[in-house]
Amino acid sequence: MILPLSPAGAPSRPLFVVRPEALEAWMSGQPAHVGAWLRGTGFAAASGDLRLLPGADGAPTGAVIGHGTAAQRLRTRFALAPAARLPEGDWHLEGELSEAERDEAVLAFLLGAYRFTRYRDQPTPGARLKLPEGSEYLVPVAEGEWLTRDLINTPASDMGPEELEAATAALARRHGAMLAVTQGDDLRNGFPMIHAVGHGSERAPRLLDMRWGSAGPTLTLVGKGVCFDTGGLDIKPSASMLLMKKDMGGAATVLGLAHAIMALKLPIRLRVLIPAVENAVSGRAFRPKDILTSRKGLTVEVNNTDAEGRLVLADALAYAAEEGADLTISMATLTGAARVAVGPDLAPYFTDDAGVSSALDAAAAQVRDPVWRLPFWEPYEAMIEPGIADLDNAPAGGMAGAITAALFLRRFAGDRYVHFDIYGHQPADAPGRPKGGVGQGARAILQALPDLLGI
């Protein structure tokens, strides 16, 4: 995670951020040939429009990027991300920006510079940004997002349960955290549903348990780590498997968030639980109509082996609840129903706590990380009760799938619980978000933690 940041003391060229209504006044303060150049090229300070500024000899002396109208800024997150495409060298921000706008510009630059280069050499941006004073806290935020993207983008051939454990161990070593791992058949008694889902693969399932911090309120993050999901014996069609390397997006997102929390040294006690499995097809795979007994003792009828994420999360949530926490958050690429409801951009979440919802919504707006609350709708509880067992992992009918999945998880979680049903994938290139893996909800949670935990 080497972010494009200027070394201390390096000379830098200005990157001016200009709104359309202030463009003429700004150009009047520039050399005449700069104004002529911008007018001649049709520069109108539209959102994300980037132009180099020529010196008298034609060499670029700086750059200008449009901040756009208020309507444009509402429609486009990280509109200033194209600044990461500036020529190689060091740059600094200039312009009439509020603190929030300045921070958004910095984050847009850092996120816009991300490239996934593990398997293919490709040009990487050479521009480096000089951090404005007061924006240093954004470095761990951007590093966490880069980590999340790298983990999701890595194919399952190189990101199975063992490799996800290695990535977690590397993060723990970096921050002095403790990591405990329960693996393979050792899961059978204590975490029977994690074992059942992962037992069908030759790649041993495991539960990762990372702890950091010795004082302060407690936060437990639980991330779905299904490193590849064939659907199991209820096998997915091939087209539906094409994105299944991202089915560990919940784990990747909580690890990115954990990095930011630990790097910022927030005064909390953090615990991260990741059930890491591969849902494979084999003679050992769990079957439709099997009844599993969970860690909590609740029995679960398996009516679809492709609804495995809630099974592994349930055991992890039950384990978390035994110790308790001031706040527990699960993150998972869990249901297609959530995507149908809100599309790929929004991260829907569930909570019974209006105070938690208020804090998350306010924080999301501040950091341009959109979230949307969905209900734990009590009348649908009957839909997850099959009669032959305590719970049904895949109710028939196909309606309210995101809600019934969330209700299922709530049966295993402790008090003050929030569940995020994220997508973890950017379908097409957008400013600051290249096509591929992407974090969702993590920045909103990080911003809200002072309110949520009283720190």
Task: Kindly state whether residue 1 falls inside one of the protein's structural domains.
Answer: no
pLDDT above 80 for 1? no
Q: Does residue 429 sit in the same domain as residue 280? A: yes
DSSP code for 283: T
Task: Kindly state whether residue 418 falls inside one of the protein's structural domains.
Answer: yes
37: left (phi over 0), alpha (psi -120 to 50) or beta: alpha
Residue 96's pLDDT band, with cuts at 50, 70 and 90, is confident
pLDDT above 90 for 102? yes
Q: How many whole angstroms separate alpha carbon 52 and alpha carbon 117?
A: 27
Q: Does residue 95 sit in the same domain as residue 147? A: no
Q: What is the mean pLDDT of residues 192-201?
A: 98
Task: Kindly state whether residue 5 falls inside one of the protein's structural domains.
Answer: no
Residue 269's pLDDT band, with cuts at 50, 70 and 90, is very high
Task: Kindly state whether residue 8 falls inside one of the protein's structural domains.
Answer: no
Residue 22's domain is classified under what CATH number? 3.40.220.10
Q: Does residue 219 sit in the same domain as residue 368? A: yes
224 is catalytic: no
- Percent of the chain whose predicted confidence (pLDDT) is above 90: 94
Q: Does residue 350 sit in the same domain as residue 392? A: yes
Token pair 């099997």 in the structure block, residue? 290
Task: Kindly state whether residue 308 falls inside one of the protein's structural domains.
Answer: yes
- What would the two tokens of residue 126 be? 């050479």
**Cβ atoms of 169 and 206 closer than 8 Å:** no
Residue 387 CB partners (closer than 8 Å, separation 6+):
none
Which among 130, 157, 186 is the end of a domain? Answer: 130
Task: Kindly state whether residue 67 falls inside one of the protein's structural domains.
Answer: yes
Return the CA Rg of the chain.
24
The one catalytic residue among 310, 368, 410, 443? 310
Q: How many whole angstroms separate alpha carbon 48 and alpha carbon 64?
A: 10
236 is catalytic: yes
Q: Does residue 126 sit in the same domain as residue 147? A: no
Q: What is the mean pLDDT of residues 120-137?
A: 90
pLDDT above 90 for 76? no
Q: Does residue 109 sit in the same domain as residue 182? A: no
Q: Does residue 125 sit in the same domain as residue 185? A: no
Question: Tens of pLDDT along 374-389?
Answer: 999 999 999 999 989 9
Q: What is the mean pLDDT of residues 293-319?
A: 98
Q: Does residue 185 sit in the same domain as residue 274? A: yes
Which among 130, 154, 180 is the end of a domain? Answer: 130
Give residue 365's pLDDT.
Answer: 94
Q: Does residue 282 sit in the same domain as residue 423? A: yes
Q: What is the three-class DSSP state of 429? A: coil
Q: How many whole angstroms separate alpha carbon 133 and alpha carbon 148?
A: 26
Q: How far is CA 57 from the centre of its chain?
A: 45
Question: Tens of pLDDT along 212-264?
Answer: 999 999 999 999 999 999 999 999 999 999 999 999 999 999 999 999 999 99
Q: Does residue 50 sit in the same domain as residue 73? A: yes
Which among 80, 111, 130 is the end of a domain? Answer: 130
Task: Kindly state whether residue 422 falls inside one of the protein's structural domains.
Answer: yes
Q: Does residue 101 sit in the same domain as residue 206? A: no
- What would the two tokens of residue 444 be? 């909103």
- DSSP for 61-101, please give it: EEEEEE---HHHHHH-TTTTGGGGGSPSEEEEEESS--HHH
Question: Which structural domain, as residue segments, surrounds residue 26?
Answer: 13-130
Residue 442's domain is classified under what CATH number? 3.40.630.10
Give residue 162's pLDDT.
Answer: 98
**Phi, psi dihedrals of residue 92, rounded to the nearest 5°:** -135, 150
Task: Kindly state whether residue 106 falls inside one of the protein's structural domains.
Answer: yes
Domain count, the chain: 2
Q: Does residue 446 sit in the same domain as residue 333? A: yes
The one catalytic residue among 203, 211, 236, 416? 236
Q: How many whole angstroms separate alpha carbon 95 and alpha carbon 67?
A: 10
pLDDT above 80 for 123? no
Residue 56's pLDDT band, with cuts at 50, 70 and 90, is confident
pLDDT above 90 for 57? no
